[in-house]
């Protein structure tokens, strides 16, 4: 029996994979795709465990040495490849140790929670060297397990050279090996990569499952859990991120931005927007907008239900005075969502955020 208990939901994917495992018909290469935080990584690890687990009955058993080592990301027959930001060290050895530190940081996050993400402030890539090393690795026999497994995270970040090098391996993976590629979508992938993998789409996690998880893990109230789940739009990873302290980044930058919009002069707002466009990644700009939506929703709940619905912190108290009605808050939420979509569709961050701030400042909806 195959039980992928570390993965929430995704029943269809689980069914396909356990069917293939039972019949001994696992593909050599899988491409798990779907938005961030829906369990692609968690499933990749579960599959790596399932093919190497020592238990006779339930795989992965989560208890044998193999399962435990894979969980801790120290199993010699599972190799992990992550996209990394540019290395800044001057010498080769500096860059090598910098790289090890980054990988360690990602691993620690993934060990503590497979749905967790380390967010970098820069564009990340998977280098051709990593792919070459992976090919050498796959050509060696397994050390402890039955299969050598390679998991490549966010394969859309493969460098041009890396993408070319990987094709041959995907065509004919050496010996007993299994490649698991994950990607947020297939649009940016070479068709030659897609056609060499078996594709499995990961769907959004239903809101009730996310809410239950948030209530259990972080002891959130039902209202707060439903609020966060709503904004996360089916990404458990994002919901966890927002619910944890890390979500404070979004909240803090959102409060700063809104304070500028309502309180301060135009110049300060423009300066802030320009610095955001230079220093934030696109994901972080989207988080800033999520943070704004959270603030508006909190104010909405407060206005609607009074102190029973929500207590406001000092920052929110100050922002509250700018809204006379629920209608205004509804419009502000709609505007934030519209700005979010525009940025997702690659409208310039400066233009989109400035337009948003003007609409808030002058209440022109």
Which residue ranges make up the site for Zn ion (CB under 5 A)? Answer: 53, 55, 60-61, 64, 67
Q: Quick one: 64 or 354, whose CB is closer to Zn ion?
A: 64
CB burial of residue 311 (10 Å; 0-12, 13-18, 19+): exposed
Contact 358, 364 (CB under 8 A): yes
CB of 146 to Zn ion, least distance (A): 12
Distance of alpha carbon 361 from alpha carbon 260, whole angstroms: 9
Q: Quick one: 67 or 295, whose CB is closer to Zn ion?
A: 67
224 Cβ neighbours under 8 A, 6+ residues apart? 214
Distance of alpha carbon 61 from alpha carbon 52, whole angstroms: 10
Q: What sign results for the dihedral spanned by CA atoms 279, 282, 286, 289?
A: positive
CB of 178 to Zn ion, least distance (A): 16
Q: Quick one: 3 or 199, whose CB is closer to Zn ion?
A: 3
Find, among 179, 161, 162, 182, the residue nearest to 171 by Cα.
179
CB of 82 to Zn ion, least distance (A): 24
Q: Quick one: 3 or 316, whose CB is closer to Zn ion?
A: 3
CB of 21 to Zn ion, least distance (A): 13
Q: Quick one: 83 or 145, whose CB is closer to Zn ion?
A: 145
Cα-based distances in Å from 208 to 220, 226, 234, 236, 309: 14, 8, 10, 11, 21
> CA 36: distance to chain centroid?
4
CB of 248 to Zn ion, least distance (A): 37
Q: Quick one: 52 or 357, whose CB is closer to Zn ion?
A: 52
CB of 144 to Zn ion, least distance (A): 12
Q: Quick one: 68 or 233, whose CB is closer to Zn ion?
A: 68
CB of 11 to Zn ion, least distance (A): 22
Distance of alpha carbon 297 from alpha carbon 356, whole angstroms: 17
151: three-class secondary structure by DSSP: strand
What 8-state DSSP symbol labels residue 203?
A: P
Distance of alpha carbon 251 from alpha carbon 245, whole angstroms: 10
């Amino acid at each position: 029996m195959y039980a992928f208990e570390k993965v929430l939901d995704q029943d269809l994917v689980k069914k396909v994979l356990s069917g293939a495992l039972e019949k001994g018909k696992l593909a050599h290469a899988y491409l798990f795709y779907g938005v961030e935080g829906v369990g692609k990584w968690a499933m990749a690890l579960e599959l790596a465990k399932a093919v190497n687990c020592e238990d006779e009955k339930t795989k992965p058993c989560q208890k044998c040495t193999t399962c435990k080592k894979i969980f801790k990301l120290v199993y010699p027959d599972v190799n992990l490849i992550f996209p990394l930001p540019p290395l800044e060290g001057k010498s080769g050895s500096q860059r090598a140790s910098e790289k090890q530190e980054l990988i360690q940081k990602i691993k620690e996050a993934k060990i503590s929670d497979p749905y967790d993400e380390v967010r970098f402030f820069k564009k990340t890539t998977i280098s051709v060297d990593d792919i070459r090393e992976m090919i050498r690795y796959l050509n060696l026999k397994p050390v402890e397990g039955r299969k050598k497994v390679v998991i490549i995270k966010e394969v859309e970040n493969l460098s041009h050279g890396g993408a070319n090098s990987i094709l041959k391996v995907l065509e004919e993976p050496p010996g007993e090996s299994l490649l698991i590629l994950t990607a947020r979508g297939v649009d940016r992938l070479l068709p030659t990569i897609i056609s060499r993998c078996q594709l499995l789409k990961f769907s959004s996690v239903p809101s009730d499952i996310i809410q239950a998880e948030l209530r259990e893990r972080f002891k959130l109230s039902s209202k707060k859990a439903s609020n966060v789940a709503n904004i996360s739009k089916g990404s458990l990873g994002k919901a966890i991120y927002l619910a944890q302290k890390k979500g404070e980044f979004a909240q803090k930058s959102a409060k700063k931005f809104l304070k500028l919009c309502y309180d301060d002069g135009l110049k300060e707002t423009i300066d802030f927007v320009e610095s955001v466009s230079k220093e934030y990644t696109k994901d972080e700009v989207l988080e800033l907008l999520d943070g704004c939506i959270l603030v508006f929703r909190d104010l909405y709940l407060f206005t609607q239900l009074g102190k029973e619905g929500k207590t406001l912190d000092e920052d929110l108290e100050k922002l509250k005075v700018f809204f006379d009605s629920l209608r205004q808050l509804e419009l502000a939420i709609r505007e934030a969502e519209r700005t979010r979509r525009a940025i997702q569709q690659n409208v310039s961050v400066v233009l989109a955020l400035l337009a948003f701030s003007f609409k808030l400042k002058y209440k022109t909806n």
